[in-house]
Amino acid sequence: MHLLYQPMNTIQATTYPVHFSDKAYQELNLYLKENTYSSIFILVDDNTFECCYPKFIQRLETDLKIELIQIDPGEIHKNLDTCLGVWNVMTELGADRKSLLITLGGGVITDLGGFVASTFKRGIDFINIPTTLLSMVDASVGGKTGVDLGVLKNQIGVFANPQMVIVDPEYLHTLDPREIRSGTAEIIKYGMTHDIRLFNQIKDNTELNIVDLIHRSVEIKNEVVTEDPKEKGLRKVLNWGHTIGHAVESYFLDAEHKENLTHGEAIAIGMVCEAYLSSRILNFPEEKIAEIKNAIVNIYGKIEILPEDINPIMALLIHDKKNEAGIVKFVLLNDYEDFELSCEASEELIRESINFYIN
Residues near ligand GLY (CB under 6 A) are: 138, 142, 144, 231, 235, 238
Q: How far is the CB of 8 from ligand GLY (least distance, A)?
A: 21
Nearer to ligand GLY, 45 or 138 (CB): 138
User: In the complex, what is the shortest distance from the CB of residue 64 to ligand GLY, in angstroms, rounded to a whole number?
Assistant: 31
Residue with smaller CB distance to ligand GLY, 169 or 245: 245
Residues 6+ away with beta carbon under 8 Å from 112: 43, 71, 78, 82, 83, 86, 103, 145, 146, 147
- CA–CA gap between residue 189 and residue 244 (Å, rounded): 14
Residues 6+ apart with CB under 8 A from 88: none
Tell me whether residue 19 or residue 221 sits nearer to ligand GLY (CB atom): 221
Considering the complex, what minimum distance in angstroms separates the CB of residue 317 from ligand GLY? Answer: 18
The CB-of-13 to ligand GLY minimum distance in angstroms stands at: 12
**Amino acid identity at 110:** T
Nearer to ligand GLY (CB atom), residue 114 or residue 169:
114
Run of H or E including 51: helix 46-51
Residue among 356, 291, 307, 17 at smallest CA distance from 163: 17
Tell the smallest beta-carbon distance from residue 216 to ligand GLY (Å): 16
- Other beta carbons less than 10 A from residue 74's beta carbon: 12
From the CB of 183, what's the least distance to ligand GLY, in Å? 12
- Stated as kind and residue range, the H or E segment containing 46 is helix 46-51
Amino acid at 2: H
Residue 298 identity (one-letter amino acid): N
- Residue with the closest Cβ to ligand GLY? 238
CB closer to ligand GLY, 41 vs 114: 114
Give the nearer residue to ligand GLY in terms of CB position, either 231 or 352: 231
Concatenated DSSP letters for 261-293? PPHHHHHHHHHHHHHHHHHHHH---HHHHHHHH
Q: How far is the CB of 231 from ligand GLY (least distance, A)?
A: 6
Q: Which of 144, 329 has the CB closer to ligand GLY?
A: 144
The residue among 268, 251, 347 whose CA lies nearest residue 306 is 251
